[in-house]
Amino acid sequence: MRRRKHRHKESFSVLLISNTGQNARHYHVGASCLRLLAVLALCVCAAFGWMAYRYLGADRTTANYVNASEVTRESELLDKVVEQEKSIQLLKEENEALDRRLEELTTENKALLAAAKTGKAGGAEEEEFSADSAYPSRYPYSEAGEVFQKFSESAPYVSINTKENGSIVAAGDGTVTYIGADGDYPLVIEIDHGNGYRTRYMLPQAAETLCKAGDRVRTGDALAAVGGDNQRLDYQVFQEGKAIDPLIVFEAKG
């Protein structure tokens, strides 16, 4: 007869005793069951550990994303600051250029004004004094003064009554060549019109002079201010040095 080997099974007894001493229970648990319970416990612990790792990893990822976003935003802000600084510098340079241009134009304008006052503004201004505008055809008084003495050989001029607040005016474009006194005339003004004509304005009474020798005048520019009524202007026109009747010049111009 063969001998049978008896398997030795390990088991654990668990005795549950109530505090009251009743209903006591006795359980037998095998080793395989304990191992299974241990494996299950390890699996549960591993699952909890994995979940904790994923949770902490997600937090780190979120934190890294937030940090990266903040860094990107700071970089964008710095780029904008640099661009604005460049724009400010460019505007400053443009402003400085405009200031220099303004200064140049101001200087040039002052020079032109000074040249205009001294009659040296250049060829363009010289061209404006044409032969037609220099023809002394304008009435030499600003108001409706009456000619009461006509031209004659003994008195080669016309005499015009003047009124208060009136002005003696240039009969044509030209240059004032003389201002002074002459015999019975406290004030004498002469204008050379540059085309063979010369005019002479003679006042037998004192008057305020409104021009000076060397001035370039236009037709109608005030030469002297008349101070009161019942005063007189003796007016002469010369052509090539010879006195002619001013009324002929007025009528020729129409």
Mean pLDDT for the chain? 79
Choice among 22-31, 180-189, 228-237 with the minimum mean pLDDT? 22-31
Residue in the block written with tokens 């061209």: 127
Q: Is the pLDDT of residue 71 over 90?
A: no
Query: Which of 235 and 81 is assigned the larger pLDDT?
Result: 235
pLDDT, residue 13, reads 65
Model pTM score: 0.49
Q: Say how many C-beta atoms besides its own lie within 10 A of residue 157's C-beta.
A: 20
pLDDT tens, 24-52? 666 666 667 777 777 788 888 888 788 87
- 3 state DSSP class of 56: helix
Q: Is the pLDDT of residue 247 over 60?
A: yes
Q: Say how many C-beta atoms besides its own lie within 10 A of residue 248's C-beta.
A: 12
CATH class assigned to 131-253: mainly beta
Q: Is the pLDDT of residue 122 over 50?
A: no
Query: Which of 108 and 174 is assigned the larger pLDDT?
Result: 174
Beta bridge partners of 141: 168
pLDDT tens, 146-178? 888 899 989 999 999 887 778 999 999 999 999
pLDDT, residue 57, reads 67
Q: Are 211 and 191 in contact (CB under 8 A)?
A: no
pLDDT, residue 50, reads 82
Domain residue ranges in the chain:
131-253
Backbone phi, then psi, for 10, in 5-degree steps? -90, 140
